[in-house]
């Protein structure tokens, strides 16, 4: 199967022009057609029922505001409601994790503990290896493994089936499945991925799990698959009380008139669009990777996408700002401080990053440049500032806020 599949950069050309072209192509299908057919997975190359924009949104090659604005130029909010909700799902997951950052760090610890446990036992190690190699004998699952490894993408409904089979049929640790996705998805997102796997496993919402059923798979794959031998029950893997939420830290202010070095990172490749007015941009630095203490991207496909998209972002910045632009390898505090000093900058300014490895890396940079006379100032997009605080409970209470959030964004 993988021989006939495009690679990740063929499926997702890593440029803003490609993202905007894909958005323009999808907008006419973003209304009732999307609402009625979005759960279907006809297979690779046949997915005009979904947007295929997720890698571009994940890394903010284009922004949520841009995507929703384009859709609302074509349709009323009621007609395009399902698609708009899907855009807000990613925002919701980020806001939920922003108020509970320990969940991300607990996931990393659980992943590392599971790796050690399953590597030390030959039987467990083989079961895990067979799943990652697509040697389970479950045709649909093995095909999805091949597709994920080749393209860096799976349909959202497939991701749910995949996670359910991994956890309840193959009886593998959910944290290793979440890690497998992060190492192969181009759009792998700490919030959406971690919390989605937790939901399937019954950790995220107590008493709620997701069971992959042969009839459902047959229906939504157009009869391509009807797997036998799947688990018939999906008991939650453990009982866990929802974590205590904490206030979202306020974004940093930047004094008007400041002379700044702008840092662009892979969580927001349009960071130079998020700047407050009145700043003097002395120079721009675009980082292809994360901090050495919190390595990111996790896999080669996301790494190749972000590296190429960073080069494209640098070209975009050059055409937007009257300042020198440079691409660097990662969030290296020494390089950033040197470039800021050379440019005569008062501060380094960047777009805020949600909870995850880039956020952790920016925290490392802040600590490392402390005392140098420089500060790293993180500015937050209005989209996140308005929406994140509403992710206090489940998605359905959050969904009720969407009309007001669209109005705040000037889209209603």
Q: With respect to residue 245, please indicate whether it lies within any of the assigned structural domains.
A: no
Residue 160 and residue 213 share a domain = yes
Examine the fold and report which residue of 173, 190, 220 is the final residue of a domain before the chain moves on: 220
Walking along the chain (412 residues) 10 residues at a time, the average pLDDT comes out as 85 98 98 98 96 98 98 98 98 98 98 97 97 98 98 98 98 98 98 98 94 98 98 96 92 95 98 93 98 96 98 96 96 97 97 98 97 94 98 96 98 92
Answer yes or no: do 326 and 370 share one domain.
Answer: yes
Q: What is the CATH number of the domain that holds 354?
A: 3.40.50.620
* 267 in the same domain as 343: yes
The DSSP code sequence of 148-162 is: HHHHS---HHHHHHH
The answer to whether residue 244 is domain-embedded is no
Same domain, 214 and 109: yes
In sequence order, what DSSP letters do the residues of 331-349 get, joined into one string?
Answer: --HHHHHHHHHHHT-SEEE
25 in a structural domain: yes
pLDDT at 242: 83
Burial class (CB in 10 A: 0-12, 13-18, 19+), 132: buried
Residue of 31, 35, 39 whose CA lies nearest to 77 = 31
Please tell me whether residues 114 and 207 are part of one structural domain. Answer: yes
Q: Both 267 and 372 in a single domain?
A: yes
Residue 38 shares a structural domain with residue 93: yes
Residues 92 and 114 in one domain: no
Is there a domain that residue 233 lies in?
A: no
The helix-helix angle for 156-164 and 174-184 (nearest 10°) equals 150
Q: Which of 163, 172, 233 is nearest to 192 (CA)?
A: 163
Three-point CA angle 184, 113, 190, nearest 5°: 40
Structural domain boundaries, residue 322: 259-379
Q: Which two tokens stand for residue 295?
A: 């390595």
Q: Closest Cα to residue 159, out of 132, 124, 136, 185?
A: 185
How many domains does the structure of the chain reveal? 3
Q: Is residue 44 part of a domain?
A: yes
Which of 204, 220, 236 is the C-terminal boundary of a domain? 220
Please tell me the predicted confidence (pLDDT) of residue 1: 58
Q: Is 399 inside any structural domain?
A: yes
Per-residue tokens: 262: 């702008």
Task: Tell whether 81 is covered by a domain.
Answer: yes
Task: Report how far residue 328's alpha carbon sits from residue 347's, in angstroms, rounded to the nearest whole number.
Answer: 18
Q: Return the CATH number at 67.
A: 1.25.40
Q: Specify whether 327 is located in the same domain as 263.
A: yes
Within a domain: 246: no
Q: What is the pLDDT of residue 52?
A: 98
Residues 94 and 115 in one domain: no
Same-domain pairing of 92 and 120: no
Name the domain boundary from 194, 220, 246.
220
Q: How many CB atoms lie within 10 A of CB 136?
A: 20
Residues 192 and 139 in one domain: yes
- CATH code, 187: 1.10.579.10
HSE toward the beta carbon, residue 63, CA cutoff 13 A: 16
- Which is nearest to 362 in space by CA: 285, 292, 272, 291? 291
DSSP characters for 85-134? HHHHHHHHHHHHHHT-THHHHHHHHHHHHHHHHHHSSHHHHHHHHHHHHT
pLDDT of 394 reads: 94
pTM of the model: 0.97
pLDDT of residue 371: 86
């Amino acid at each position: 199967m993988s021989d006939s599949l495009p690679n990740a950069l063929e499926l997702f050309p890593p440029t803003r022009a490609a993202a905007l072209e894909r958005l323009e192509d999808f907008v006419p299908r973003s209304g009732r057609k999307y609402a009625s057919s979005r759960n279907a997975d006809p297979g690779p190359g046949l997915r005009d029922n979904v947007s295929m924009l997720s890698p571009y949104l994940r890394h903010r090659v284009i922004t949520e505001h841009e995507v929703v604005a384009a859709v609302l130029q074509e349709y009323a909010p009621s007609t395009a409601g399902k698609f708009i909700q899907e855009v807000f799902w990613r925002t919701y997951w980020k806001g939920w994790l922003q108020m509970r950052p320990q969940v991300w760090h607990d996931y990393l610890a659980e992943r590392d503990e599971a790796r050690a446990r399953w590597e030390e036992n030959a039987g467990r190690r083989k079961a895990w290896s067979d799943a990652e190699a697509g040697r389970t004998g479950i045709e649909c699952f093995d095909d999805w493994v091949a597709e994920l490894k080749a393209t860096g993408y799976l349909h959202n409904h497939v991701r749910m089936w995949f996670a359910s089979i991994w956890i309840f049929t193959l009886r593998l640790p959910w944290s290793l499945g979440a890690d497998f996705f992060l190492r192969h998805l181009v759009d792998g997102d700490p919030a959406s991925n971690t919390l989605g796997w937790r939901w399937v496993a019954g950790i995220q919402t107590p008493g709620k799990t997701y069971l992959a059923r042969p009839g459902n798979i047959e229906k939504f794959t157009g009869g391509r698959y009807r797997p036998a031998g799947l688990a018939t029950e999906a008991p939650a893997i453990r009982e866990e009380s929802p974590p205590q939420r904490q206030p979202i830290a306020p974004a940093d202010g930047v004094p008007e008139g400041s002379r700044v070095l702008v840092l662009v990172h892979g969580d927001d490749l349009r960071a130079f669009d998020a700047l407050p007015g009145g700043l003097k941009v002395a120079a721009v630095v675009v980082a292809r990777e994360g901090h050495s203490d919190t390595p990111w991207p996790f896999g080669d496909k996301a790494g190749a996408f972000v590296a190429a998209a960073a080069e494209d972002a640098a070209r975009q910045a050059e055409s937007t700002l009257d300042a020198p632009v440079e691409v660097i390898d990662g969030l290296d505090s020494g390089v950033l401080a040197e470039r800021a000093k050379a440019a005569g900058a008062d501060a380094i300014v960047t777009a805020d990053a949600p909870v995850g490895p880039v956020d952790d890396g920016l925290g490392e940079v802040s600590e490392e440049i402390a005392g140098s006379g420089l500060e790293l100032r993180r500015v937050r997009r209005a989209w996140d500032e308005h929406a994140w605080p509403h992710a206090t409970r489940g998605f359905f209470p959050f969904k009720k806020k969407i009309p007001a959030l669209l109005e705040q964004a000037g889209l209603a």
